[in-house]
Structure 1
Amino acid sequence: MEAQVHTASPLAPAWLDVPADLNALSSAIWAGDVQRGSSGELTIDGIPVSELKKQFGTPLFVMSEPDFRNRARAFKDAFDEAFKDICGGVDVYYAGKSFLCTAVAAWVADEGLRLDTCSGGELAVAARAGIPGRDLSLHGNNKSDAEINRALDMGVGRIVVDSVDELDRVAAIASQRGDAAKVMLRLTPGVHAHTHEFIATAHEDQKFGLSMAEDSTDQAGLSAAEQAVAAATAHKGIELLGLHCHIGSQIFEPDGFALAAEKLLVFLAAMQEKYGIALPELDLGGGYGIAYTPVDTPRPPAEIAAAMASVVRSTCTRLGITAPRISIEPGRAIVGSTTFTLYEVGTLKTVRVDAPAGDGAGNDAGAANVTYPRRYVSVDGGMSDNARPVLYDADYSAVLASRSSVAAPQLSRVVGKHCESGDIVVRDVYLPEDVAAGDLLAVPGTGAYCWALSSNYNYLARPGIVAVRNGAARLIVRGETEEDLLNRDMGVAND
């Protein structure tokens, strides 16, 4: 029997095709051990999602520990191999801001990576996990005195400084303690990248970093970046390790990284010659993209590493300098695809939507009596566990997880239960027409910046996170309870 061909909805975005098989899983957007069992139910390492719901409830973040470890090791191995003849390998710092807990910090260390933190709280997680201070980095554009002191107490391997003002504060605190803070200067090289595109600009209008642009120069003709180098060399409380940059997020192509690397190496060589100093380290940041939908095409770590190494190698040769030790900061690219969020379906409704312009039927937008159906599928979570769609218009995918279905595809919008019209989990996805209340849906690619950005909006308790390995699931972050929330309400606690 031939498969029935279904017509795409005119309401769907151009990139969204009608799946040939609604039960199929795109390997690009799921952890390697997620599949459908013989009954049609989604499983992870053999564990059915119905069992996870029974044991832990929903919403629930479900993470593959082996997949996380494999992705972490893939970055470390690929970059070490690409740069071994240039600087002996690469220091890979996992960007903890994407998702961090003590279990993940321990996996990072086990796989030979270091850990990048952005706050005192993230430093506390690292300390609780037993990560040595030398393997930590502290970022942030507005570090408090307490955070700077904590970093120095822990012997953090490097503090990434964002401004001359912050450099002076770090130097003053370190000097008062009789310490020398190990510092990297975060520069903005005028390269902005996202997905397949990057642009080079003459100036920087953002809160992060020290501009290398000419329009940031002072009366002496020094750019903001060079002012910071000059100041760092003059401070007794500063040990200047090198330079850092971060050019964007969710980047698929290596071109932007290559251009940024070239610009920073040229600047590094100029500073070493002008000030007679050694700048032995260069961090090229993170921002490597992942697939959230089947049409996304991120590059594998080996391909990115090879492209970046080629530029570093040739640029250092041209400049006649010894290559600095390179470091990178992947976060999303390691944790993002390891995790899916499991939801239970509640209310469903279908609305009729005016025909969009150019719908292929000769109808203008808003044409009388020309409407198309869109189904709203409400789940028991929402923007409190995934704020990215409302913050960034981020696209996600979803599948019916509790069973397979041979029903026809229906353009659907997966929404949360919050009192906000923008509470959208998946803006556009084809789901089976027979999806019903009580079914389970799974949304892949939620490992990065979902739990990390979660909230208690409408007093919803934040979900737990389970890690699966060797056919067993265990909580690595306990889900909150209403009692947890009320314990912070002093009007209740004092009764």
Structure 2
Amino acid sequence: MYYLHGTSQINDQGRLEIGGVDTKKLTEEFGTPLFVYDEALIRQRCREYVDAFRASGFQFQVAYASKAFCVKAMCRIVAEEGMSLDVVSDGELYTALEAGFPAERIHFHGNNKTPEEIEMAIDAKIGCFVVDNFSELPVLNSIAAEKRQNVNVLLRITPGVEAHTHEFISTGQTDSKFGFDLGNGSAYKAVEEASKLSSLTILGVHSHIGSQIFEVEGFRMAAERVADFAVQVRSELQVTFKVINLGGGFGIRYVEGHTPLPVAVYVKAITDAVRENFSSNDYPLPAIWVEPGRSIVGDAGTTLYTVGTTKDIPGVRKYVAVDGGMTDNPRPALYDSEYEAVLANRATEPAEEVVSIAGKCCESGDMLIWDLSLPKVENGDILAVSCTGAYNYAMASNYNRIRRPAVVFVKDGHADLIVKRESYKDIIGNDVIPERMKQANQ
């Protein structure tokens, strides 16, 4: 059964409504495919994190992981809600700065920051770099020294905690492309080296165990291991961590059976674990930073499609094709991700058939949902796929030269366009035909 998130409801006309706006009207005004974001739900999620940490008594920063969905309007919301922002590229940094996001609240992540990206971030005077490897340390220090600046750093460590999630989004285990390993001594050596670099100030460490996590034990274990490491480093290297960043990865409900915990439960588990493990070692309580992304925007996003062709294979399956697919949602192809959907224009009608939703790309693997129960599907119906707010638009591509969809925020009965649908000119905007080819055709 389709689960209604946030302000979503079925109106008197039997149609799906989000933020007080009828989805049929949204498709008439903005076309399809269309990403629709429930602004009130985004802001609610932001406030749940901030309020929970404020109640804990800890110093804290809640940094939105912009890789989940990074556009200027989203950066504005994050700024207005008093949160920080983490970026992992010059493009995300540029977007944030163009949106007017306070640079001192930006954290720069990434396992392969280029010298150009580092320069850009230092020039912008961002708040912190999350250093990922030994190669980055001397480069960052050298560029900072050339610019006569001192930069704050967190050292990303892999604590050896494996979250129960898909292998492609599990990051806290020893065998990971990210961070300094705690178990083999790399993390200790990183603190030792970084403490000798004159243009770097070590704030503390960063740990991220994975994504789409539904339990708190992994966070508790990570906090315990980070605390043990902090005590060792203070004793042997005389470095005291002022900040412990325990990353993100908080899960959301995509389909029935997914059981995310309330934000306050995650936060309480984290703050209790930090308090217990640091206090027991007579260690000054550090500030706690976290980086929710999916749990801020994931269930606030819905994608609207128009139904096109069908193919019924008797005794096998019925395919229903929509006007989008892996170009706006590659996650099923990448992670076997599951979704729920409803016919937005006929949301109260009973299910009559089981169909599989196919995308329009020239790929057999372009499937959005397998075995979905719906009313008898008709050409022109509007299919609403829920929980597409995180990593969908962010990962969207122009495969088959399909244009990326428009994006709207809905709130209190109003819809605001925040990203225009790409035009044909946008598609070819960076194409260049060499002069020799032009001459050959003359």
TM-score range, shorter chain: over 0.9
* Distance in 1 (alpha carbons) for counterparts of 2:210 and 2:171: 13
What is the distance in 2 between the residues matched to 1:421 and 1:96? Answer: 31
Q: Which residue, out of 404, 417, 422, partners 2:360?
A: 417
Distance between the aligned counterparts of 2:7 and 2:62, measured in 1?
Answer: 25
Q: Alignment partner for residue 301 of structure 1, among 228, 243, 263?
A: 263
Q: Is the 8 A contact 1:191 1:247 kept in 2?
A: yes
Percent identity between the two aligned chains: 43
Q: How far apart are residue 350 of structure 1 and its match?
A: 2.1
Which residue in the other structure is 1:56 paired with? 30
2:195 pairs with 1:233? yes
Q: 1:357 matched to which residue of 2?
A: none
Report the counterpart of residue 374 of structure 2 in structure 1: 431
Report whether the alignment pairs 1:117 with 2:87.
yes
The aligned residue for residue 404 of structure 1 is 347
238-247 or 40-49, larger mean C-alpha shift? 40-49
Match of 1:377 among 302, 306, 320: 320
Unaligned runs of 5+ residues in structure 2 are none
**Distance in 2 separating the partners of 1:305 and 1:431:** 38
Larger radius of gyration: 1
Q: Corresponding residue for 1:451?
A: 393
1:312-351 alignment, distance < 5 Å: 312-351=274-313
* Residue 156 (structure 1) aligned with residue 126 (structure 2): yes
1:487 to 2:429 alignment = yes
Q: Which one-letter code corresponds to 1:121 in the other structure? A: G
Q: Answer whether contact 2:207 2:245 (CA < 8 A) is retained.
A: yes
Give the aligned residue type for 1:343: Y
Give a deviation string over 1:425-470, Cα, whole Å, max 9, x none: 11232112x1111000000000000000000000100001001122
Amino acid at match of 1:150: M
Kindly provide the amino acid, as one letter, of the partner of residue 384 in structure 2: A
Corresponding residue number in structure 1 for 2:217: 255
Q: Conserved in 2, the CA contact under 8 Å of 1:187 and 1:210? A: yes
Q: Does 1:73 align with 2:47?
A: yes
Q: How does 1:215-234 map to 2 (within 5 A)?
A: 223-234=185-196
Q: What is the aligned residue count? A: 435
Give the drift of 1:337.
Answer: 0.6
Once residues 399 and 71 of structure 1 are traced to their aligned partners in structure 2, the CA distance between those partners, rounded to angstroms, is 24
Corresponding residue for residue 61 of structure 2: 91
Aligned partner of 2:136 in structure 1 is 166
Distance (Å, rounded) in 2 between the aligned partners of 1:488 and 1:178: 37
Give the CA deviation at 1:373. 4.2
**Once the two structures are superposed, what CA deviation does each residue of 1:174-229 show, in whole Å capped at 9, x if it has no partner?**
112222121110000001213599xx999722211000113xxxxxxxx1101100
Following the alignment from structure 1 to structure 2, what is the Cα–Cα distance between the partners of residues 155 and 398?
44
Name which of 131, 137, 146 aligns with 1:176: 146
Distance in 2 between residues matched to 1:328 and 1:387, nearest whole Å:
26
Deviation at 1:278, TM superposition (A): 2.3
1:248 CA drift (Å): 0.4
Q: 5+ residue gaps in structure 1? A: 1-18, 20-24, 215-222, 353-371
Query: Is the 8 Å Cα contact of residues 103 and 129 (structure 1) preserved in structure 2?
Result: yes
Residue-by-residue CA offset, 1:452-491 (whole Å, 9 max, x unaligned):
0000000100001001122111110111011211222213
Check conservation: 2:20, 2:410, Cα contact below 8 A.
no
Deviation at 1:410, TM superposition (A): 2.1
2:3 corresponding residue in structure 1: 26
Looking at structure 1, the residues matched to 171 and 432 of structure 2 have their Cα atoms a distance apart, in angstroms, of: 50
1:492–1:334: structure 2 CA closer, same or farther, 3 Å change rule?
Answer: farther
The alignment status of 1:37 with 2:7, answered yes or no, reads: no
Q: Which amino acid aligns with 1:334?
A: I
The answer to which of 182-191 and 479-488 deviates more is 479-488
Identify the residue that residue 271 of structure 1 maps to in structure 2. Answer: 233
Q: Give the C-alpha shift of residue 79 in structure 1.
A: 2.2
* SS of equivalent to 1:142: coil
Question: When the two structures are superposed, what TM-score results if normalisation uses the length of structure 2?
Answer: 0.95
Kept after mapping to 1: 8 A contact 2:165/2:210: no
Between the aligned partners of 1:314 and 1:251, the Cα distance in structure 2 is: 22
Structure 2 residue matching 1:248: 3-state secondary structure? coil
Give the aligned CA root-mean-square deviation in angstroms. Answer: 2.0
Deviation of the 1:405 alpha carbon? 5.1
Does the CA contact (< 8 Å) of 1:189 and 1:212 recur in 2?
yes
Contact 2:297 2:390 in 1 (8 A): yes
Q: Distance in 2 between matches of 1:306 and 1:201?
A: 22
**TM-fit CA distance, 1:66:** 1.1
Q: Partners of 2:416 and 2:76 in 1: how far apart?
A: 15
Encode CA deviations 1:254-309: one digit per residue, 9 max, x unaligned.
11011001101110111111111222011000000000012211001111111122
Q: Secondary structure of 1:184's partner?
A: strand
Query: Would the aligned equivalents of 1:386 and 1:451 in 2 still touch at CA under 8 Å?
Result: yes
- Residue 411 of structure 1 deviates from its aligned partner by 2.1
- Residues 36-56 of structure 1: per-residue CA shift (max 9 Å, x gap): 111111111332111111111
Q: Which residue identity lines up with residue 110 of structure 2 in the other structure? A: G
372-381 or 140-149, larger mean C-alpha shift: 372-381
2:420 to 478, 482, 491: 478
Distance 1:202 1:435 in 2: 44
Distance, in Å, in 2 between the alignment partners of 1:404 and 1:189 is: 46
Separation (CA, whole Å) in 2 of partners of 1:456 and 1:203: 33
Q: Distance in 2 between matches of 1:156 and 1:457?
A: 34
8 A Cα contact 1:195 1:252, kept in partner:
no
Q: Kindly state the Cα deviation for residue 408 of structure 1 after the two structures are TM-superposed.
A: 3.8
- Residues 37, 46 of structure 1: 8 Å contact kept: no
- CA–CA separation in structure 2 for the residues paired with 1:154 and 1:169: 17
- Equivalent residue, structure 1, for 2:383: 441
Contact (CA 8 Å) 1:396, 1:427: kept in 2 or not?
no
- Look up the SS of the partner of 2:345 in the other structure: coil
